[in-house]
Amino acid sequence: MTKKVSRIGVLTSGGDAPGMNAAIRAVVRTGLYHGLEVFGIMRGYQGMIEEDIFKMEGRSVANIIQRGGTILKTARCKEFYEAPGRKKAYDNLKKQGIDGLVIIGGDGSFRGAVKFSKEFDMPCIGIAGTIDKDIHGSDYTIGFDTAVNTAIEAIDKIRDTMDAHDRIFIIEVMGRDAGYIALHSGIATGAENILIPERKTNIKDIIESLQEKEKRKKLVNLIVVAEGDEFGGANEVQKVLKENLPNAEIRVAILGHIQRGGSPTGIDRLIASRMGYHAVECLMEGKHNVFVGILNNKMHYIPLEKAVKNKGGISEEWMKIVKILAS
Ligand code: F6P
């Protein structure tokens, strides 16, 4: 027998991602369509602990589909790691009569949800909202496409000045543990080298090719680095290159949190709407602790505990393409 939900909560947790608002909108409107009461929980698990919870109506999510950030705000909540914090959160949900949750966030947020739902029998449905695209079980995560396009726009501009001066540019994009933003933005901007946490970098090769270019007096080269690459980001890569190319003009640009903001792209709005809708459908069907992903353009459901960081997702094919196209 599945327990029917009647009052559901929605929250955003972890790093924000463009498109989270579109997902919130989809959850609220699908819930209302089914006759549910929908509650917004502020600042992720923090709002559950502090009982910062409010009832949402259709109009609460009007005019937000195009907005970056999250109207529910977000946080990384330490207190929720501990059992007393989770108990407080549960008591507050019970007080509000909430009997199902939709969590929009990354793998850390899902780990918290899995613990919580096991302790308190609260159905939790997870949607991947992270610019890093590093969650196992989905080809898309909300915010990735926007972040990549933001990076591309910035890199294109830097490329103009790089080319005008014949310089080496090292551009750092986000991705503490994941190289997808670097890979996609690097390929799309014609980067000669892309450094990512998932692969060892043959720095000797890069240095030799730059020394070769220097001899030919054509020292222009674009390097895109994920912040979590083995050297520890663009500044560290610059130091290594400088040691070997003391006369070269090497500039660094760190794109930073600009990649997390801005109006979501069409793709991010669409996947957020689709995932938000299906998350509520899951609760309606009595599903517990499910991750709602999209694989090969079809909805794909896995147990929430399996929606962990996807470290092996970058294929050798992509790495080969980078190499061949840059030569
Ligand atoms: O949201 C993911 C992410 O942007 C990572 O790529 C990055 O390393 C991290 O968040 C930065 O987090 P914070 O905003 O806490 O500095």
Owner of token pair 């043959």: 202
Q: How confident is the model at residue 183 (pLDDT cuts 50, 70, 90)?
A: very high
**Nearest 5°: phi and psi at 70?**
-150, 130
Question: DSSP string of 54-114?
Answer: EEE-GGGGTT-TT--S-TT-----SGGGSHHHHHHHHHHHHHHT--EEEEEE-HHHHHHHH
Distances (CA, A) of 223 to 169, 210, 243, 258, 307: 6, 11, 17, 19, 31
**Ligand 1 centroid to 247 CA: how many Å?**
34
Q: What pLDDT score does 100 carry?
A: 97
Nearest CA to ligand 1 atom 15: 15
| d(C-alpha 149, C-alpha 228), whole Å | 20
Domain spans, the chain: 7-143+264-309, 147-260
Percent of the chain past pLDDT 90, that is, above it, reads 93
* Mean pLDDT computed over 236-245: 97
Nearest CA to ligand 1 atom 14: 15
Tens-digit pLDDT profile for residues 266-317: 999 999 999 999 999 999 999 999 999 999 999 999 999 999 888 777 889 9
Nearest CA to ligand 1 atom 8: 176
- Nearest atom in ligand 1 to the alpha carbon of residue 174 is 6
Q: What pLDDT score does 309 carry?
A: 81
Q: What pLDDT score does 218 carry?
A: 87
Please tell me which residue, 327 or 238, carries the higher pLDDT value. 238
- Nearest atom in ligand 1 to the alpha carbon of residue 143 is 1
Given CATH 3.40.50.460, say whether it is the number of domain 147-260.
Answer: yes
Q: Which of 131, 185, 254 to mutate to test the pocket of ligand 1 (most atoms within 8 A of CB)?
A: 131
Structure tokens at 250: 């090497």
Nearest CA to ligand 1 atom 1: 15
- Side-chain-side CA neighbours of 4 within 13 Å: the count stands at 6
Q: How confident is the model at residue 1 (pLDDT cuts 50, 70, 90)?
A: very low
Q: What share of the chain is helix, strand, coil (3-state, %, to 5)?
A: 45, 20, 35
CATH of domain 7-143+264-309: 3.40.50.450
Catalytic residue among 132, 134, 145, 229: 132
**Ligand 1 centroid to 116 CA: how many Å?**
24
* Mean pLDDT computed over 35-63: 98
**Ligand 1 centroid to 300 CA: how many Å?**
26
**Ligand 1 centroid to 96 CA: how many Å?**
32
**Ligand 1 centroid to 165 CA: how many Å?**
32
Q: What pLDDT score does 311 carry?
A: 75
Pocket of ligand 1 (CB under 6 A): 15, 130-132, 174-176, 227, 260
Percent of the chain past pLDDT 70, that is, above it, reads 99
| d(C-alpha 60, C-alpha 68), whole Å | 16
Q: What pLDDT score does 3 carry?
A: 66
Return mean pLDDT, the chain: 96
* Mean pLDDT computed over 94-105: 97
Whether residue 132 lies in the annotated active site: yes
- Nearest atom in ligand 1 to the alpha carbon of residue 76 is 15
**Ligand 1 centroid to 177 CA: how many Å?**
10
- Alpha-carbon dihedral of residues 163, 214, 230, 316, nearest 10 degrees? 80
- Nearest atom in ligand 1 to the alpha carbon of residue 259 is 4
Q: What pLDDT score does 310 carry?
A: 80
Where does residue 296 rank: exposed (0-12), middle (13-18), buried (19+ CB within 10 A)? exposed
Q: Whole-prediction pTM value?
A: 0.96
Q: What pLDDT score does 2 carry?
A: 60
Owner of token pair 């009052």: 7
Q: Does 7-143+264-309 match 147-260 in CATH topology?
A: yes
Q: Which of 174, 255, 257, 260 to mutate to test the pocket of ligand 1 (most atoms within 8 A of CB)?
A: 174
- Nearest atom in ligand 1 to the alpha carbon of residue 181 is 6
